[in-house]
A and B are shown apart, each in its own frame.
Chain A
Amino acid sequence: MTRPSDGQRRQMLVDMVSARTQSQRMWNLQRQGQIGTVAPIDGHEATIVAAAHALDPAHDWVVPQYREPLALRRYGPEVLEQFLLYNIGHPAGGHIPAPIRVLPNQISLATQLPHAVGLAWGMTLQDDPGVVLAFFGDGSSSQGDFYEAGNLAGVLKAPVIFLCVNNQWAISTPVHLQTAAESFAAKAAAFGIPGVKVDGNDVDAVYEAVHGARERARSGLGATLIEAALYRLGAHTTADDPTRYVPAEDLAAARRNDPIAILRSRLEAEGLWDAATQSEVESAALTAVDAAHERARTMPLAPDALLDHCVSEDSPRLARQRLALLAEVEGTR
């Protein structure tokens, strides 16, 4: 049983509170038309933060879906900065600078899972001691890419951790329409790898599971599938109206199990947290997200930036398209 230290648990709560505060600010920015679609983090904080804290950012890769970046503070402030740049719709938002071991958001569901296996496999081929942790949703688990990646990881004994964030919903589709299996973790049996289901609202449980899977991967025993069960407390995204389909009583019950409230009351009882800390953390988080937004808003953008980075060198046709675009932009100034 590997429990996080008091210091780690306190830092986890800092990251969780920061993530929620920033997510709520981003929701408002979206509503004011300042940034694009936002997928709120509410309810997912314990799982993502505890997983990140069980990893070693210097060696271990995180392969996200799209909801995770705000909770990856452990991987450096650049993750938040690039996330805002991405959200504002700036082309440079996709570039998470080296040496940060975090891949950009993946919108095309479950496609990141074979990538994660390939990355883990490639690392073993080069004696890189790190592991790869890939996030994916309950909904994404229905994709062929999930089964193909799980199978491949099993065969290769790749050092990869598949972390299924089961928030009970894929937009409006509830988990019972997604699978008839008794759990998402049970699917590990088909891959010949261990599968564990944990309470995704409990940082200790998630930390322990990820820590164990990481030890296993590092000792050459291969992949693990972890299901973290939690509840999506907000909308799917800013484009969604969950009141149309989420039963109010289920949501009310889930709110009584809010991962932040749970950890906060534990830490307060242990004398590791108080109201002053809470408000300090919230205001620092707001300052950071607003600074990241300001940076994104004022980031230079060349008129032909949309043509960059598609291929390493312009083809003759793309070169012509670039000239035409620049002439057009010039002409309208």
Chain B
Amino acid sequence: MNELNMLEAINECLHAEMARDDRVVVLGEDVARTGGVFRATDGLFEKFGEDRIFDMPLAEGAIAGASVGLAIAGLVPVAEMQFLGFAYQAMHQIAGQVARLRYRTQSRFDPAITIRAPFGGGVRTPELHSDSLEGQLANVAGLKIVVPATAADAKGLLASAIRDPDPVMFLEPLRGYRGIRDQVPDGEHLVPLGSARTARPGTDVVVIAWSHQVELACRASDRLEKEGLSVRVLDLRSLVPLDLAAIAEAVDACGRVVVTEESPQTGGFGGEVVATVVEESFWSLEAPVIRVSGFDVPYPVGMVEDLYIPDEDRIAAAVRRVLEVA
């Protein structure tokens, strides 16, 4: 075990996966010679050289599209979008091509493509650097959507994503890069895709969250514990595939549910979670499910972003509200 922040955990995983499998190649803007704008790919160029990691011309569409070709050629591309908001420039490739390669070739080719991207707010970035697009991406059949909340999971899930035969959008919380630190297992560490994690045990209410919202939900849970409330936090870890059994188990145990996410409410993945809860566990529910989310506007500018992001106060308030129903 080693205490690492999320960035260090991701970097360690990339080093290990490139060493393990020489088909793994890394491509993106500024990833090679400077090691990425956040240093996630630091040291890879020095260690693996210019045939394994590539500073790409500034075109996300070509990064995603070339990844399809690299995969057809038998390589295992790990592409970086410098920020998830710039995946819009690549959506015709990601949604229209990467996601469909297996389907349209009827599995002749394995689209073993991982696309990493930081996202989420809280660090006063310019426009389009913070937007949460996981709900939009989850609506694209064929993509797996992985959203780690801890450094250990970032390492274990990224390794699984790279080894997975299907395309994975691996979404890294910007605020977690340096803000989240925890004990990370040394050496080989794999966390399977599609398995949720209980981040806090509890029996009164379950807060279902992913990515940086897990951290905030845990803080709310810790605070509410002092008020005598037992609030479980379920960290989904991947949205697609979704751990249906873990959701049902948590809802059955608690009976009251809050779902929290950073994206706008309308069409957000939270709605999918609520629908799943209602379909799978309707008779266990003791109160209507409450959603906490961003507002139905684009991710806003710096002076008002703290009002936008659901924080632990909003999550705690939702927990109290879901407990008001007798």
Residues of A participating in the B interface, judged by any CB pair closer than 8 Å: 36-37, 66, 86, 88-91, 93-94, 107-109, 139-140, 142-145, 170-173, 177-179, 239-240, 244-245, 301, 303, 305-307, 310, 315, 317-318, 321, 325, 328-329, 332
Contacts and interface: CB of A to CB of B under 8 A. Distances in A.
Contacts of B298: 310
Contact of B58 (A88, A140, A318): A140
Contacts of B303: 88-91, 301
Contact of B297 (A66, A143, A245, A310): A310
A318 B266 CA distance: 10
Contacts of B305: 89, 306
Contact of A173 (B55, B296, B301): B55
Nearest to A331: B317
B37 interface: yes
Nearest to A315: B296
B215 interface: no
Given A89-B124, A310-B297, A328-B317, 9 more contacts: A36-B302, A91-B300, A142-B62, A143-B61, A170-B29, A177-B57, A245-B34, A306-B297, A325-B307
Given A177-B55, A301-B304, A172 B129 contact: no
Contacts of B70: none
Interface string B130-165: 000000000000000000000000000000000000
A300 to B, nearest CB: 12
Contact of B295 (A66, A172, A245, A307): A307
Contacts of B295: 306-307, 318, 321, 325
A89 to B, nearest CB: 3
Contacts of B307: 303, 306, 325, 329
A140 B127 CA distance: 17
Given A88-B302, A305-B304, A37 B126 contact: yes
B109 interface: no
A107 B59 contact: no
Contacts of A86: 301
Given A144-B59, A307-B295, A172 B304 contact: no
In order of increasing CB-CB distance, the 10 nearest A-B pairs are A89-B302, A142-B57, A306-B304, A89-B303, A139-B58, A310-B297, A172-B34, A306-B300, A142-B58, A107-B127
A142 B59 contact: yes
Contacts of B29: 170-171, 173
Nearest to A109: B58
Contacts of A315: 296
Given A36-B302, A177-B57, A305-B304, A108 B37 contact: no
Contacts of B126: 36-37, 66, 107
B308 A306 contact: yes
Nearest to A310: B297
B30 interface: yes
Contacts of A94: 301
A108 B298 CA distance: 14
Contacts of B124: 36-37, 89
Contacts, number: 110
Contacts of B304: 89, 91, 301, 305-306
A89 B89 contact: no
A328 B266 CA distance: 20
Contacts of A142: 57-59, 62
Interface in B279-321: 295-298, 300-305, 307-308, 313-314, 317
B125 interface: yes
A144 B308 contact: no
Interface in B50-84: 55, 57-59, 61-62
A173 B29 CA distance: 8
B296 A321 contact: yes
Contacts of A36: 124, 126, 302
Contacts of B30: 171-173
Most buried by A among B58, B266, B308: B58
B48 interface: no
A125 to B, nearest CB: 28
Nearest to A91: B301
Contacts of A172: 30, 33-34, 55
Contacts of A244: 34
A109 B90 CA distance: 12
Given A88-B302, A321-B296, A245 B33 contact: yes
A90 B305 CA distance: 10
A108 B266 contact: no
Contacts of A171: 29-30, 34, 37
Contacts of B34: 171-172, 244-245
B190 interface: no
A240 B37 CA distance: 8
B174 to A, nearest CB: 12
A321 to B, nearest CB: 5
A307 B58 contact: no
Contacts of B37: 171, 239-240
